[in-house]
Amino acid sequence: MVSLDFKAFREAVFRLYNQGAFREALALMDEQAGRFPQEGCDLYYWRACLACRVGDPAAGLAWLQEASDRGDWYHESVLQDPDLAPLSESDQFAAVRAAFQERYAVAQAKAQPLLKAWSPAGEARGLLLALHGAGGNIESEEESDHWRPAVALGWRVALAQSSQVWAPGKYFWRDREVGITEVGGHVAALQAPETTVLAGFSQGAGLAMHAVLGGTLAVDRFLAVAPAIRPEALLPLLAACRREVRGYIVIGEQDRYCPAAVAVANAMKQAGLACELELHPGLGHDFPAGFPTALERRLAHLTR
């Protein structure tokens, strides 16, 4: 058995899923999942979806029941995944769902927007405020490893965590208006300078683009990695957008959001707005390899 780190394991499972190789994905889960007990909440859910996909809804329900028995829970939107449709008529699934909803309500009542920041030695060149993707949090080393290297480049770096809970220890920006309001609070608390870049990955990147293009915040630069966006929601913002807005989009050509990213980047240019599009052949919905090493070039493009 070849041992994979969690990121490589996750990528392999998703690749098999996207290929329709559901049994192979389950076999990989059986082989490797026991090595990642700290990721149990995700693993139970993935196994439930895959089991339903191979025509074994009883096994899928058993995985969700096991997740419930150990105290896990998932946001209702996650449980509406089409993969779980075979469970929709099950009374046991309804009971598990009710338990999840109860735990979600308790967690959501306690949740608050959080911020973590690092400052460079000496005067900062600017502020890089980054937003996690769906299911992220600011305690994740994987999350901070993408953005924190900008501190060595002279930038103040801050990571924002949404107050909207998705699962234990996982957060998302599902309600855009709530998210933008929270980010606005962080911008004020950080006394954001004129040179501020609002950055993010996936859902966080989409929120950053909406906030900057919509003029909601006093920030006119965004760095979006694999933005989860719909052109029809963003394009109407361009007509009234501030002319000084600058954008930078990093996305893989195999990312399902790539066509949307290309459409928005082209529309920004046609509207007279600066936007750089960085395409990565063969890359799916992820950061490109070596992302931090090119941060200086990307930030320089946004601040020149």
The domains of the chain, with CATH numbers, are 6-110 (1.25.40), 114-303 (3.40.50.1820)
Spatial separation of the C-alpha atoms in residues 244 and 221, rounded to whole Å: 9
Spatial separation of the C-alpha atoms in residues 270 and 262, rounded to whole Å: 12
- Of 214, 207, 121, 219, nearest in space to 172 by CA: 207
**Predicted local distance difference test score (pLDDT) of residue 4:** 80
**Predicted local distance difference test score (pLDDT) of residue 30:** 92
In this structure, which amino acid lies at residue 36?
Answer: F
First to last CA, the chain: 50
Report, as ranges of residue numbers, the positions in the chain whose pLDDT lies below 70. Answer: 1-2
- The tokens of 180 are what? 């933008």
Chain-centre distance of CA 261, in angstroms? 15
Q: Which residue has the tokens 């930078």?
A: 248
**Predicted local distance difference test score (pLDDT) of residue 140:** 87
Neighbours of 121 (CB within 10 A): 8
**Predicted local distance difference test score (pLDDT) of residue 1:** 57
- Of 236, 241, 180, 186, nearest in space to 211 by CA: 180
**Predicted local distance difference test score (pLDDT) of residue 201:** 98
How distant, in Å, are the alpha carbons of 103, 113, 203 from that of 76?
11, 21, 18
Give residue-wise pLDDT tens across range 2-54. Answer: 678 888 899 899 999 989 999 999 999 999 988 998 899 999 999 999 999 99
- Of 81, 3, 72, nearest in space to 43 by CA: 72
Helix extents (H) in the chain: 6-18, 22-32, 40-53, 57-69, 76-79, 91-110, 141-147, 176-189, 203-213, 231-234, 258-270, 295-303
Strand locations in 112-155 (E): 114-118, 127-131
Strands 156-161 and 114-118 turn out to be antiparallel
**Residue 140 burial (CB < 10 Å; 0-12/13-18/19+)?**
middle
The answer to whether the beta carbons of residues 29 and 46 sit under 8 Å apart is yes
The answer to whether the beta carbons of residues 127 and 156 sit under 8 Å apart is yes
Give residue-wise pLDDT tens across range 85-103. Answer: 999 999 999 999 999 999 9
